[in-house]
Amino acid sequence: MQTTQTQVPGLALSDHFLEVPLDHREPKGAKITIYAREVVAIDQAAANLPYLVFLQGGPGSPSPRPQGLGGWVGHMASRFRVLLLDQRGTGRSTPIHTDALAVMGTPQEQADYLAHFRMDSIVADCELLRAALLPSEEPWTVLGQSFGGFCATHYLSVAPQALREVWITGGLPGLDTPIDEIYRWTYRRMAEKNLQYYRRYPGDEARVRHLAAHLMEHEVELPGGSRFSVDMLQQLGAPFGMSDGFDQVHYLIENAFPAGSARPLLHFGFLREVENFLHFDTNPIYALLHEGCYTQGFASNWSAQRVKAEFPAFDQILKGPFFFTAEMIVPSMFDDHAALRPVAEAADILAQKADWPKLYDPARLAKNKVPVAAAVYHDDAYVPRELSLATAARIPNLRTWITNEYEHNGLRADGPRIVDRLCDMTRGRV
């Protein structure tokens, strides 16, 4: 393993690079590199502190980049060596970019490569990293946010001996819930979120409808070559599950209607804002493998697109309030987003793939002895609380903190309080 060291105000940083198998079933086969940044308070840099491994939400997003003592990372860096893992395919861990995938081979070869970037491979990477950093094989603490919580639950299924305690924020998954049922929950929750949005910003109902009508009547291209379609307009609702999500979307939409204008004026500045608002092209794993987060021995068959037909409010573009979607990945994205077009065939192959391995072992989880604390956000738009609580009932030694104080971005909004609470829960202090 290669390591380099740097500093930011108050924090000592160590960059770790480790070569791991692309396919953990073939340890002598092709290799990729994973990267993790170790963070510790400067005045504790020489101390023998335990490790806290952070598993980021996503999939397809790198870990946070610390700039100082703020947030939960700085807060915990005096008690732990915080390990910020860039999950494989993200950040500095052999990143996946669609232009590189496009020249990798056939669509089938691209899909076969991408199939190695799910949570089972991420957890296997963690175990190799643990062996490199802790030759005595000491267990460590894991914090999983959103998709990172899915990874942490898989970790409990396959290597509980590696875990001293587990903290989960907004990411306790259904263990064997059919994917269509998951999307039924999230469409219902997003319908509620849309109505809440228009109650906060009632003037946006007409604005958004006018914008949708304009996109139906005109071909609009974003500066980077993507097609600004009605489907893409719906995707702008992705942050509705965050505490500031309604405001983000409102301030974006109002820029399409300059002062004194009753109709959209899609100037360069607005179109550039739309382009910057979405990250499916810069974080392609999200689009390619989001439904793969839920598939265990079955194909997704574009579940979000199929289930959408059961919720006609999301298709009544001009007849009622325009409903935004959230984490729903649909085939049209691979036509609309310029950077995704080269991997459209690979995406369809992944959607038809039926031999995904199991992610969770309910029988093993039913014998869990690792202390686990999970913050379950009552109004979560992405990970339905109903499924989280059903899972919690099946895993002994797991305590839940059910709260409507926070939305899905609670860790970003009030991280120090949340991690302190979860730590106290696993250690019996509350």
6 beta partners = 13
Q: How far is it, in rounded angstroms, from Cα 430 to Cα 427?
A: 8
Measured distance CA(403)–CA(393) in Å, rounded:
17
How many angstroms separate the CA atoms of 29 and 399, rounded?
A: 40
Written as one string, the DSSP assignment of 372-395 is: EEEEEETT-SSS-HHHHHHHHTTS
**Is 86 tagged catalytic?**
no
Question: What's the start-to-end Cα distance of the chain, in Å?
Answer: 39
Query: Would you state the structure tokens that stand for residue 414, as one six-digit string?
Result: 């009030």
Rg, Å, the chain Cα set: 22
What is the C-alpha to C-alpha distance for residues 13 and 66, in angstroms, rounded to an integer? 9
Q: With contact defined as beta carbons under 8 Å apart, do 376 and 402 qualify?
A: yes
| HSE of 57, CA atoms in CB hemisphere, 13 A | 16
Question: What single string gives the DSSP state of each residue in 308-356?
Answer: HTT-GGGT-TTTSPPPP-SS---TTHHHHSGGGGGGHHHHHHHHH---P
Q: How many CB atoms lie within 10 A of CB 223?
A: 12
Largest CA distance in the chain: 68
Closest CA to 160 of 18, 17, 10, 361: 361
* H or E element at residue 398: strand 398-403
Q: Which of 63, 121, 146, 157 is labelled catalytic?
A: 146
3-state secondary structure of 25: coil
Cis preceding-peptide flag for 59 (omega within 30 of 0): yes
User: Which residue matches tokens 């004026």?
Assistant: 265
- DSSP per residue over 252-303, as a string? HHHTTS-TT-SS----HHHHHHHHHH--TTTSHHHHHHTGGGT-SSS--SSH
- Both structure tokens of 367: 């014998």
> Is 355 labeled as catalytic in the residue annotation?
yes
For the annotated catalytic residues, the residue numbers are 146, 355, 408
